[in-house]
Structure 1
Amino acid sequence: MKTTRTELVPHTIDGKTRLVPITVPVPAPPRDWDRIILTGVTTTAALVVAASVTWSTASIGDLLTRIVIAPAAYGAAAVFDLAWIACMAVEWLARYDRQQAALPRRMGHSALAVAMLAVAAHGYLLGHLVIGIVGAVVSGLAKSLWTVVLHHQAPPLDDRTRAWIEQELADAGASLALIPARRRVQRAHALVAAERAALPSPDQSGQDADDPDATPEPATAGPMTIKDAVRTALDSGIREPDKVLTYVRKVADANAREDTVARYIRLAG
């Protein structure tokens, strides 16, 4: 089978060359039978897993309807197969990290064993133990087939390459873990700054603490506008306009005008 594609080629007329499109035949690549077969096997494995979930849910759901209503029974029954399917998916995601893949592999086998025992127990209670065992084997075959497919698709890695990938993932994980840690540190610093801004500053050295006219200067909390500085001074107990003006010029604007500060004092009052 052949296909075509368009190419630009130079074409000259009267000494003037231009690129003009032409259509050229291109042979189609041969069929990739390996990919076709792998796709078919993967589709078959997916259908087998779907059949396994259907059988297990129907069997275990019928078992649980003896004590609970049907919707709850069949909903819980679906968990038995979905548990090992989810574990198998996590195992596939962790295929480059043997230590991380070990836990979902063990949990998947455990969940599969529980599901198979539940299906077999249903057949035993109905007096059809052989049918129960055969039904349980369906789940085992489904997981085995899917495990074979995933194992075939996983790229083979030598120990050095695998160790290199694990170290790269560890570095990336450390960088990712630092993000919430830095956020917590920034929030802690912000809380400390807010606490310091809210509390009155201690008495300055040499200031008479018994002097009723001595008013402590409020703590600064970073750059302020004139309006914010006036509000901070008033909230800290500074009422004299000249002292408010002095504070504003210290923390907000060294060239703050007296009438501007007086206007903000009136608005705040």
Structure 2
Amino acid sequence: MKTTQHVPHTVDGKTRMVPIEVDAPTPPRDWDHFVLTAVTGIAVLVLTASVVWSTASIGDLLARAVIEPAAYGAAVVFDLAWIACMAIEWLARYDDDRAALPRRAGHVMLLLAMAAVYAHGKVAGYWEIGLIGAAVSALAKGLWTVVLRHQTPPLDARTRAWIQAELGDAGASLAMIPVRRKLQRAQGQVAAERAAIAGPDSDPDRPDQSGSDPDADVIGIRPGAVTTKDAVRIAWDSDIRDPQAVIRYVAKVTGGVPSPDTVRRYLHALKVAG
């Protein structure tokens, strides 16, 4: 087998990496992978045959009471249900506690599918065929269980506990995303409600503000001067979002040091309104 390698080649004192073809040793055939691929293909064929057989049997049984499209549409649910449970069990293969529920549910749904196939054979007058047909679904699930268990890497108890702890931390981080969004929406609604109740006359930066107001330290410099609220809005309209940068801008415009809490409250109100 040929492969390409880059080797140094010097011409006139200048060296470059140039590609050349060399003979590479052929790796031995991975028979384990070949056998596993073949077995997986066999399992897919068996599963397909099981779904076709169960759907045909249960659909014919239900078609005695309802129209055929509805009957066969409902019939395919019997096998798809336990197949879906088996897939979820595979996804939870590193967590025995989470895999237990889909495993039990898959067994129950498989038994229901087998019972329906057997019932069809008995109603048709061939209980032997119904019994053999029910065994097809059991063989399909059994084969897939063996294949999936073989592909699941063995882990010791400590490694499983470590993986579960890592997944728990990741799950906590994901869970906090909607929680933070909910808190931000609630805080925004509270701020908007307070602003609506207070009205436009509650500007904490007016010169006639009472000393009991928490923002009494922010006062107008002179009549007609730019207030903290006006300066914050000007900074916001200029795409200045960093609170410290806004505080420096407000101090420069108004000529005084504004209250950081007041600036942050105005920024939050503008963010909610925007």
What TM-score do the two structures reach when normalised by structure 1? 0.75
Tell me how far apart the structure 2 counterparts of residues 109 and 130 of structure 1 sit (CA, whole Å): 23
Q: 1:251 aligns with which of 229, 245, 253?
A: 229
- State yes or no: 1:29 paired with 2:7: no
Q: What SS does structure 1 have at the residue aligned with 2:22?
A: strand
Tell me how far apart the structure 2 counterparts of residues 128 and 19 of structure 1 sit (CA, whole Å): 76
1:147 Cα offset (Å): 0.3
- State yes or no: 1:95 paired with 2:93: yes
- State yes or no: 1:81 paired with 2:59: no
Tell me how far apart the structure 2 counterparts of residues 196 and 14 of structure 1 sit (CA, whole Å): 81
Q: Is the 8 A contact 1:60 1:77 kept in 2?
A: yes
Q: What SS does structure 2 have at the residue aligned with 1:7?
A: strand
Structure 1: 4+ residue segments shifted above 6 A: 245-248
In structure 2, what is the equivalent of residue 126 of structure 1?
124
1:12 Cα offset (Å): 4.5
In structure 1, what is the equivalent of residue 62 of structure 2?
64
Deviates more, 1:61-70 or 1:103-112: 61-70
Amino acid at match of 2:201: E
Q: Where does the alignment leave 5 or more consecutive residues of structure 2 unmatched?
A: 205-222, 232-249, 255-274
1:188 Cα offset (Å): 0.5
- State yes or no: 1:218 paired with 2:196: no
Q: Is the 8 A contact 1:11 1:17 kept in 2?
A: yes
Q: What SS does structure 1 have at the residue aligned with 2:43?
A: helix
Tell me how far apart the structure 2 counterparts of residues 79 and 217 of structure 1 sit (CA, whole Å): 65
The equivalences for 1:168-247 within 5 A come to 168-200=166-198, 217-218=201-202
Percent identity, aligned pairs only, is 64
1:99 Cα offset (Å): 0.2
CA 1:17–1:131: 2 relative to 1, 3 Å: same
CA 1:161–1:218: 2 relative to 1, 3 Å: same
Tell me how far apart the structure 1 counterparts of residues 225 and 100 of structure 2 sit (CA, whole Å): 65
Tell me how far apart the structure 1 counterparts of residues 84 and 38 of structure 2 sit (CA, whole Å): 22
Q: Is the 8 A contact 1:197 1:219 kept in 2?
A: no
User: What is the number of residues matched between the two proteins?
Assistant: 217
1:19 Cα offset (Å): 3.6
Rg comparison, structure with higher value: 1
Amino acid at match of 1:217: D
Q: 1:117 aligns with which of 70, 90, 115?
A: 115
Q: Is the 8 A contact 1:123 1:131 kept in 2?
A: yes
Tell me how far apart the structure 1 counterparts of residues 57 and 169 of structure 2 sit (CA, whole Å): 47
Amino acid at match of 1:152: H
1:50 Cα offset (Å): 0.6
Please give the root-mean-square deviation of Cα atoms over the aligned residues, in Å. 2.4
Q: What SS does structure 1 have at the residue aligned with 2:125?
A: coil
Amino acid at match of 2:177: I
Q: Where does the alignment leave 5 or more consecutive residues of structure 1 unmatched?
A: 202-215, 221-244, 257-269
1:246 Cα offset (Å): 6.6
